[in-house]
Every structure is written in structure tokens, then in C-alpha cells.
A and B are shown apart, each in its own frame.
Chain A
Amino acid sequence: MRALLTALALLVTGMMIGLVGFLTVRGAGSLTPGFLFSMPSGSGGEGGILPAALSTLWLAAGALSLALPLGVGTAVYLVEYARPGPLVCAIRTLTETLAGVPSILFGLFGFALFVVRLGWGPTLLTASATLALMLLPTVVRTSEEALAAVPQDLREGAAALGSSRWDAVRRVVLPQAAPGIATGALLALGRAVGETAAVLLTSGVGLTLPRTIMDSSRPLAVHLFLLAGEGSAGGRAHATALALVIGTLLFNVLADLALWRRRAS
């Protein structure tokens, strides 16, 4: 049994190393500063990926700046204010349910509400709002865990000094929980960078340089998806995929580091 399970672990390790190794071998040669910082040409298969990379940054920043306040606010309400009971239970169950919804359905929602009903059309803001809803459960869950881990003594100490609940939350509890909340934010950013399905219907597929979040432009993940469909980009597509993997894994490593710092302190 030992041997069999060890072989299985090796197989899984091999799969992951194979995936990253394959992209590195095929794409690392093309992944140069010139590739990252120049404009694409043709239908996107030639030239660089600057607009797509910028779109991804706008998109991730936009989605997080919507999801973080809302998610942390929800978590603060659940942990610090609401009395445990059926209401809190219902909010948790609904948030958990939202976490399990397939990403294409978020895309469908964003398309129906923002693109069609509100008439914003496909823009980075549309895609950010759509992604924000998708990231919300992650932010709520990690923030709740971070808040719950703050020792009760600190809250009691603040109350004994005469501070109101809100002051205690703002000055004592939230600073203590900040590293945990940051972990959640980084995990959410990683997901935002790699997401395709929710964004495909909401961001647009243009190749122009996005100047503001109100522009329409394809993010990296959508760019890779379209390149794969055209099947002619050679090493540039592999370099794009490698950039995407490095981007998402970077956020996950940073999230791990934030968690580790919290444990250490």
C-alpha cells in the first residue's frame, strides 16, 4: 500500500512539474521584457502582451476594491455584531452556496445585468463588478477566520477602557486581523488574474491599450483562450500561459507568506 500511494504522490508531483516545465521549456525563451511591454500586432498572435497584462491588473484591482470592503464588512457584521442564531446561519449558508456557483454563471449574471440591462457594454468595470461577486465568498470566509482568531481578551480590554464596539473593531480587532484578511485578499487576487469564464462575456476582446477601467479590453486569460483557438501563436502563446501561471502562483505564495507571518507573530 505504501508503495502504491507513494507512486500516486509521485504521479501528481510529476503532473504539476510537467505542466510548469512544459510551459517553461516552450515559453520562457519568448517571455522577455520586450514581450511584456510591447503592443500586439496581427490578431494578437504577434508582438507583445502589454494591453492584456494591463487589463488583468485593472481587472484584479477593480474586483478587489469592490469585494474587499463588502467582504470584510460582512465578516465584521457576522463575527462582531450579529448574535449567533438562524440569521447568521442563513447568511453563512448563502455565502457558502455562492462560493460553489460555477464561474460561467457569474459571467451570465454580469452579462444580463451590467452589459444588457444597465447598458454599460463590455468594459473592464463590468468585468470587475462581475468578478467582485465571485471573489466575495473567499474574502468573507478568510476575513471571518481572521476575526475569529483575534483573542477575546482584546475586545474585553477595549470595552473595559470604555470604548464603543465600533472603536474596538476599528482600533483593536481589525489591525490584529489584518494579516489574515490580507491572505484572503491575495488568494482572491490570484483567482481574479486566472479567471476566464466569468470575464469572457463581460470584458470584451479588444486589443487596444486600456487607459481607464471604463475601457473594453481583453485580459491575459481571455487572450490566451483566444490565442489557443487561433492556434498560430507558437512560443508566444506558451509565454503568455507561463506569465499567467507565474502571476497566479505569485499571489498564492504571497498569501502563504502573509499567513506564515501571522503565525510567527
Chain B
Amino acid sequence: MDVRDRVARAVLACMAAITASGIFLIALAVVLGGWPALPDLIGTVWRPEEGRFGALPLLAGSLLVSLGASAGAVPLGIGMGLFLVEVAPPLLADLMRRLLRAMAAVPSVVFGFVALDLVVPWIRARFGGLGLSLMAASIVLTAMVLPTVAAVAEDALRAVSPALREGAYALGASQGQVAWRLVLPAARRGLAAAAVLALGRALGETTAVLMVMGNAAAFPRSPVDPARTLTSAVALEMAYAAGRHRQALFACGALLLVLNLVTMHLARRAAEGGAER
């Protein structure tokens, strides 16, 4: 091995080490910034101006809006996956895939902006309240997470062996029966991965949620109530927070990172389980 090759190898290995350390850098930043305030987060009142940093209302906001988004995006995304795999002719499927990719590329801030004009007034007129609400955020997040769910669901459905399908058709099953009784159950691990992934993505989303959710730091009593998430608390308050308040926001970041790592780990495990079948 000549010298330049050795140097190249060493430099490239350093680059790989830097890339691999990225996740640790982020973990270090939120843990170092937030650990003194971690115990403060256990509480039901988030009122920074009074020095009360109970993050349970924020956690509730994050979880509720993510569950709301998953309730919309998982059935719709799996439906889109089925459409692409079982129904659409190749050309149309290709077109739809492009459309979904374009939808995934639309910036979060644009989703939030359009929802402020279309979704929020509709909720205000139809259900009362401010319109800025859990429901508005769930609807926006449904649209934002849908392309990811559809892509993962499509892969899972496509991985179902064609022999199974052909066998079922040979026995006289209808297209609906094949999809509902055979393809969906056979792909259930991959579909579960898609669902968990949707939840994880929704938990981490910030900008669009921040714009349409009203951001009241209290437990929401109904879907049309405003609420604040962990992510929106960080984005909204970090600019002016100092001292204990800043530490509490970093601690919220640490909580968010833990939630994210757990959901992503579950999604990966579900997907790998699907591949072994």
C-alpha cells in the first residue's frame, strides 16, 4: 500500500467517525444543557415566568397531536400503498409516487401557512373555538406524514410473495379478498413499522404544528382546544429563555430525543421482523 493510500484511508476513516458521532453530539448538547432541570419537568404546570416547568401538558400535547396525525395518516397511507401495489397501472403508480415525493418535499412552514388560511378558519366556523387547535395540527400532520407512510407501506406490500397472490386468484378469490385477507395480513410487520414511523415523525415535527396549534401550555380538554407540544415550546421560548428556563427547554429536548430514539428503534425492529418472514 502506498503512502497516499494510507493517508486517504486515515482521512476517510476520520470523516466516517465524525459522521457517526453526530448523534452523540446532539445527545450531549441536550443532556448537558438540560440535566439540572430534568426533575422540574415532572409537574402539571408549565409557567416559565413563575419558575414552574412541569412538562406534562407539553408531553400530552405532543402525544395527542401525534396520535391524531397517525389516526389519519396510517389508514390513508396504507390505502395509498395498496392503491400503488394492487390497483394502479404502472404508469399511474409512477406518477402517484412522484406526486407523493413532491408532497414530502413541500416545506413544513408552507404546510402550516396554507393550513392557517384553509384548515383553521374551517374548524373555527364548523366547531367553534379559535380554530388554532389540536385538530388543526393533526390534520396538517396527517398530510405531512402521509407520503412517508405510503412509501414504507408500499415497500411492505410489494414484498409479499406474488406466489401467494397468484395462488389466491387461482382459487377464485376477488381482488378485494386478496388485498384484505391475504396481502394486508402478510405485510403486517412492515405496516406496523410504517405506523410507528408515522408516530415518530409526527412527534418531532415543529414548524407546522407551532403555526396552527394555538400553543396554550395547558392540558387540552377537547380536540378544538389549543395545546403546546415539546417541540413548539423549544422553538417558541428558546429565543428569550435564560437560566433555569433555558435548562428546562434543553431538558424538553432530551425528553423528545428519548421519545424519538424509542419510536425509531421500534419501527426498525418491526421492519426487520418483516424482512425475516
Contacts and interface: CB of A to CB of B under 8 A. Distances in A.
A118 to B, nearest CB: 12
Given A1-B180, A252-B102, A102 B1 contact: no
A221 B224 CA distance: 27
B79 A8 contact: yes
B33 interface: yes
Nearest to A12: B80
A224 interface: yes
A93 to B, nearest CB: 9
B96 interface: yes
A194 interface: yes
A28 to B, nearest CB: 15
A225 B109 contact: yes
Interface in B28-48: 29-30, 32-33
Interface in A102-150: 102-109, 111-113, 133, 136-137, 140
Given A194-B105, A197-B231, A225-B207, A109 B29 contact: yes
Interface string B155-190: 000000000000000000001100110000000000
Contacts of B25: 109, 113, 133
Interface string B200-239: 1001111100010000000000000000000100110011
Contacts of A154: none
Contact of A71 (B9, B19, B117): B19
Contacts, number: 237
B108 A201 contact: no
Contacts of A107: 234-235
Interface residues of A, number: 77
Interface string A219-241: 00100110011000000010001
Contacts of B275: none
Interface string A41-74: 0000000000000000000000000000111011
A211 interface: no
Given A194-B109, A248-B106, A103 B204 contact: yes
A1 B176 contact: yes
A37 interface: no
A108 B30 contact: yes
B107 interface: yes
B125 interface: no
Given A12-B99, A166-B4, A244-B110, A108 B253 contact: yes
Nearest to A200: B235
10 contacts: A22-B114, A70-B15, A96-B268, A104-B204, A108-B30, A136-B19, A137-B19, A225-B207, A241-B109, A244-B107
